[in-house]
């Protein structure tokens, strides 16, 4: 049957969510790289476009859901990040990764500065 699309199963949808959680791909759900990896590594019978669209149009709109055997907190986190990424649609996954890196380094620098503020020697940053 040419053009036949088999319906998604709950198991396939679970694999999508589990992959996002396992690979910490929360910030990558709006890009395409993660979906290509998921198609290649976990669900080779589905195209990356199909996986992305299923997530975007169906799964994320139903989160949180008791259908998925995943903690509600994780489901809410996926939905929240997806929604936030949509607000800044010009932002790429690389931008978000860079922001997270800078933010973590900035906190580390600030923490180092405050911890040694009584000393006379300047703090070295790794």
Question: 48 or 1, which is more confident?
Answer: 48
C-alpha–C-alpha distance, residues 42 and 120, integer Å: 55
Evaluate whether 36 touches 64 at the Cβ level (below 8 Å).
no
Rounded mean pLDDT of the chain?
A: 78
pTM of the complete model: 0.67
pLDDT confidence band for 51 (50 / 70 / 90): very high
pLDDT at 45 over 60: yes
What are the tens digits of pLDDT across the range 79-101?
999 998 887 655 555 555 555 55
pLDDT confidence band for 5 (50 / 70 / 90): confident
Opening angle at CA 48, ends 42 and 49, nearest 5:
150
Nearest partner of 13 among 77, 47, 81, 60, judged by Cα: 60
Q: What is the DSSP letter of 46?
A: S
Evaluate whether 48 touches 38 at the Cβ level (below 8 Å).
yes
Least confident of 19-23, 32-36, 45-49, 108-112: 108-112
Provide the 10 A C-beta neighbour count for residue 75.
Answer: 21
Residues 105-121: what's their mean pLDDT?
Answer: 44
Evaluate whether 73 touches 21 at the Cβ level (below 8 Å).
no
pLDDT at 23 over 50: yes
The DSSP annotation for 55-84 comes to IIIIIGGG-S-TTS-S-HHHHHHHHHHHHH
């Amino acid at each position: 049957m040419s053009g036949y699309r088999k319906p998604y199963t709950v198991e396939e949808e679970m694999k999508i969510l589990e992959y996002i959680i396992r690979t910490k791909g929360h910030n990558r759900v709006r890009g395409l790289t993660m979906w290509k990896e998921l198609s290649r590594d976990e669900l080779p019978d589905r195209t990356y476009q199909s996986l992305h669209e299923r997530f975007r149009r169906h799964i994320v709109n139903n989160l949180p859901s008791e259908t998925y055997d995943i903690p509600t907190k994780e489901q809410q986190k996926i939905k929240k990040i997806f929604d936030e990424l949509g607000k800044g649609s010009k932002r790429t996954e690389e931008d978000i990764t860079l922001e997270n890196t800078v933010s973590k380094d900035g906190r580390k620098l600030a923490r180092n500065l405050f911890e040694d503020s009584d000393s006379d020697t300047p703090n070295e940053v790794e």
